[in-house]
Structure 1
Amino acid sequence: MSDNERLEKWLSEHDGEERCKYCRYDDGCPHGIACYGGSPIEPACCYYDIKDYLDIEAILKDLEEENK
């Protein structure tokens, strides 16, 4: 199975908080839309392409470790 196929399979099986572990913006993320009296604060997953906020290499590395 290619890396792209393994990634697509992982993405289809994991969502929400399970993806946060691999998010480049996890530190300081509200993990949902938050509002503290001003404009709403949206997490990166609301507006970035998935490959721009997830650490794809880390996901693939962990998948490789699981298969050992």
Structure 2
Amino acid sequence: MYVAKRNGRNTYEMSSSSSNERMIKTIIMENVLKYALERNEFQLVYQSLIDLKTSDVIGAEALIR
């Protein structure tokens, strides 16, 4: 749709099988993530960031697993 819109009015664009496969994979991933969120299957964890030269903790990053 966006490609056809960029090309002007009164046009059409055929989708390819690879774009259809990407769209299906995206929809599946969205549904899996939504289901996991509804079931509280995510866990927040913190991972330390270490300075390899000094072995000091220089920060942390939050990760959802």
Per the TM superposition, whether the score is higher than 0.5 is: no
Please say which structure displays the higher CA radius of gyration.
2
- Between the two structures, name the one with larger relative contact order (CA 8 Å, sep ≥ 6): 1
* Between structures 1 and 2, the one with greater helix share: 1
